[in-house]
Structures are given as C-alpha cells and as structure tokens.
Amino acid sequence: MKPTTIDQVLLTEWIVNCAQKMKAHRDWLTALDAAIGDADHGVNMERGFDEIGARLAGYRGEGCGALCKLVGMTLLAKVGGASGPLYGTFFLHMGLVAAGKQRLTESEFAAAFAGGVDGIRQRGSARLGDKTMVDALLPAALALQQALDNYSPLCVALRSAAAAAEAGMLATIPMQASKGRASYLGPRSVGHQDPGATSAWLLVLSAAEVVCLAADPGLLIQ
C-alpha cells in the first residue's frame, strides 16, 4: 500500500471531523466534567472548535505548520480553563515539527503528534496516572510510533493509537486525580472518567477516521 502523506487538506479534514465529534459529544464531556470539575469541558471544546471552523472557512494557508499554528492559537484565545491552553499547546508544538512543510510523511506526522503530547506534558507537568488527557494521549503517541516501526500503514497505526487512547481514557476511572480541578476532590475523584482524557480519545479517533477514509474511501470505521 502506498504510504499516506498528510497535507493541509487532510489536516483540515481531521480538524473538521474533530469539531463534529466535540459538538456531538458536548453533553457527555460536560457531564463527565460535572462529576469531577465545573461542568464546562464539552462547552469549552465546542466553543474552541466552532471558532476554528469559522477561521478555516476561506483560509488559504501556507502548509501544515501554519495550519497547526492557527488551530493552536485559536484554542489558546477562545477556550478558557485548563484544556484551552493545553490543547492549544498541543497544536502549536505539532506546528513547530510541521513548520515549513506542505505535506508530512507518516513518520513526520507521528513525530508532530509526539511533539504535541510533549508540549502538553511540559505545560501541565502531568504524568501518566495523574488522571488527565495525558493518560490517553501518551499511550496513543507510543502506539502510533510502535505501529509505524512495525511497518503498519498510517491508517492501521492510527487505529492502534485510538485503541490505546480509549484504553488510557478508561484507565482514568479508578485513578485519583493529582492535576487540575479534579485534584481538589482528592479520593472523591476516584470512580469517574476524566473529561480531558475523553476529548483526547475523540481527537485521536478523528485522525484515524479521516486517514483511513483517505487511504480507502470504501472503508468506513465501525
């Protein structure tokens, strides 16, 4: 199978798919945040991605790095709370790795994704097990790289990343939060799924969907 390259069009499709998912799951994300936070995560994500959609309409763009920067700057500007700066940093760091490139190879995309996750870890200083979005994103980045190292096509590698993100998201349920608003609850944060880990899974799932559809338009993810 021909390796997939990720150009600005495919990156845009990822972001648009992501915006649809954040909207479709807004109430779920907000309900998760109501249990261990302040009930705004779904609204935050919807607001940020709605604004990205508005800014992308008519956007001509100058390649992958510039697009990631636009997404990151918009999330920083429009989304309050912890998740705006963190997801904003994710896309800004992706943009640093993708800077000046019209298209990304599979391994460049994986490197950009890993760079984004590193950016979140630097900014929020959360580690695995702290019950945050890092618990979904870090396993996803590792699974993506491992699958590519084993010569899987990007579609398969991203499906494996999405499965790792989903497992990481579910693994947050028994955790006690030690970062962010949920940490104020102490042991009472146990038994609830982290909202940020959930939106992170949606982000990775979107990437898998658009890349697999581009690789084989006859193929629809279950």
Name the site residues for ligand ADP (rule: CB under 6 A): 33, 37-38, 40-41, 44, 81-83, 86, 120, 124, 126, 132-134, 179-181, 194-197
Contacts (CB under 5 A) with Mg ion, residues 15-74: 33, 37-38, 40-41
The answer to whether 199 and 83 are in contact (CB under 8 A) is yes
154-171 helix and 106-124 helix, angle to the nearest 10 degrees: 20
Distance between first and last Cα of the chain = 21
Min CB(197)–ligand ADP separation in Å: 6
Closer Cβ to ligand ADP, 103 or 181, answer by number? 181
Q: Which does 106 bind (CB under 5 to 8 A by kind): ligand ADP, Mg ion, none?
A: none
Structure tokens that stand for 57 in this block: 């309409």
Q: How many CB atoms lie within 10 A of CB 9?
A: 12
- The listed partner (Mg ion, ligand ADP, none) that binds 132, CB under 5 to 8 Å by sort, is ligand ADP
Nearest residue (CB) to Mg ion, 33 versus 46: 33
- Three-state secondary structure call for residue 121: helix
> Closest distance between ligand ADP and the C-beta of residue 144, in Å?
19
Count of residues that bind Mg ion according to CB under 5 A:
5
**Local structure of 104: helix, strand or coil:** strand
Task: Judge residue 42's burial from the number of C-beta atoms within 10 Å of its C-beta, 0-12 exposed, 13-18 middle, 19 or more buried.
Answer: buried
Q: Using CB distances below 5 to 8 A depending on partner kind, what does residue 194 bind out of Mg ion, ligand ADP, none?
A: ligand ADP
Residues that bind Mg ion in the complex, under the rule CB under 5 A: 33, 37-38, 40-41
